[in-house]
Amino acid sequence: MILQKPVILLFGKNGQVGFELQRALSPLGLVHAFGRQDCDLANLSQVRNVVSQLRPDIIVNASAYTAVDKAESEPQVAYLINAAVPSALAEEAASIGALLIHYSTDYVFDGMQTGWYVEDDIPNPQSVYGTSKLAGESGIAATGCRNLIFRTSWVFGAHGGNFAKTILRLAKERESLNVIADQYGAPTSAHLIADITAQVIVRYWNEVNREHFPYGIYHLVAAGETTWYDYAKYVIAYAEKTGIKLRLKSGAIEAIPSVNYPSPAPRPSNSKLDSGKLRKTFDLTLPDWHQDMVPVLEKIITV
């Protein structure tokens, strides 16, 4: 239950997470959703003006520069969207007493650690993308605004481009496929991210003493772990069960090491984020990634 509904300002409405946030947040309050066509994120003055004019109670920033490899050749753009924009939003949030919710990534870590990453582990990004996202986290913290930063990984959804969609497309075109088998993480749906965000917002808005609300950084990923290779096999096996026509069979996927697939930006070998802090703080249950994926795959396959 949510009392006297808040004014919510959403940036990045057309991305995977932003698309789902429009659905999840609309029952909670008056949502003003902005995409690139509504607000030029490269114009920080315009971004600030949107906030100052609407004076929202809650700002949700789902905008991001996510072209990981391209960021290596255009770092200025990556830093503008991933660092300067969230920092500006945080400053505006601080000035009006609003809550800022922002999304970050497993790429803030170097992926060399064994086991699961917790929020207090020291970041060490290895790419422009990861460094720019960490700069966004730091910029938000420096303002002292009320903020929640959700780090997530391997995001997929029925809307927008992602690994699951790519695998299904390739499975219709090819009879064999090589997929990396030495990078670990948890696929996490945009639907889950949006729903958890909505639940936390309800907690925040109904909080009597918001000064003592548990602000800060939280890891938000589905439970369990897998590799890109096993992830691809799962997607194909699920598609086969539905009777969809594919050229590629799940047994025709070849596991390869990441060194055989070089890219401009290095990927973390270990992207496993521990969501224990989020679950315990807000009394939440996060599904296993297989369970999280099924309804999204159903939508993707039937489109």
| 155 bridge partner residues | 188
Cross-strand partners of 226 = 185
Q: Which of 103, 107, 129, 218 is catalytic?
A: 129
15, 186 contact by CB (below 8 A): no
DSSP state of 273: B
Residue positions counted in the chain: 303
If one counts every other C-beta atom within 10 angstroms of the C-beta of residue 122, the result is 9
CA–CA dist 269, 262 (Å, integer): 13
Residues 132, 105: Cα–Cα separation, whole Å: 10
- Nearest residue to 229 via CA among 282, 277, 279, 187: 187
Return the residue matching tokens 């913290």. 141
Q: Tell me the C-alpha distance between 226 and 288, whole Å.
A: 11
Distances (CA, A) of 154 to 161, 194, 197, 238, 287: 12, 15, 17, 18, 15
129 is catalytic: yes
Q: Alpha-carbon distance 23 to 28, whole Å?
A: 10
Tokens coding 123? 């970041």
For the annotated catalytic residues, the residue numbers are 129
